[in-house]
Amino acid sequence: MNQVRVYRFELFIFILSLWIVSECFPNFKSRLPNGDKIPNPCVPGQIWHAIGHWHPVRGTERNQFGLDFKKAGLIYTVAFHYQDSDGDGKTNGEELNVNLTSNQFFMMGNPKSHPGICEPVASEKCRKLQQFRCPPPINQNNNMMRSLMPNFPQGNPFG
């Protein structure tokens, strides 16, 4: 009977962690125009989910875009629109592909680049601006992903 409780507790913790990740971060992405479509500068065709952080899916240390967004009160303001958070020569608005007309923001299509990571990442200019290096790709064979999964023993726990 105690094993069943342990399994249920592990399952509860696993589901809770999935809920936290799925519910908390989209709130910030929805406050940014095109916030749910930020391209991953390390893996073409993938999305960078944790926009204001140095890791694509986890809320690690904030990048400059995340710090600037926090300074702006977590609101996409006109001043924030014209900032160049990552120092690559393009404003946040240009990278998000957002146009500003008479204090109205218009999304002009998908974002052009990541507003918090200087691109191209390996260029000499970007290496001088930031210490960022692309993290290893996340896939199902990745040890980090396996460590997040509950460790259920083999066999029938009820028998």
Domains of the chain, residue spans: 2-148
88-107 pLDDT, tens per residue? Answer: 999 999 999 999 887 788 88
25-72 pLDDT, tens per residue? Answer: 557 788 899 999 999 999 999 999 989 999 888 777 999 999 999 999
- What is the pLDDT at residue 8? 75
146 pLDDT above the threshold of 70: no
pTM (two decimals): 0.69
Q: What is the dihedral of CA 65, 71, 74, 77, to 10 degrees?
A: -80
- What is the pLDDT at residue 5? 66
Q: What angle do CA 53, 130, 95 make, to 5 degrees?
A: 60
Closest C-alpha among 125, 149, 142 to residue 55: 142
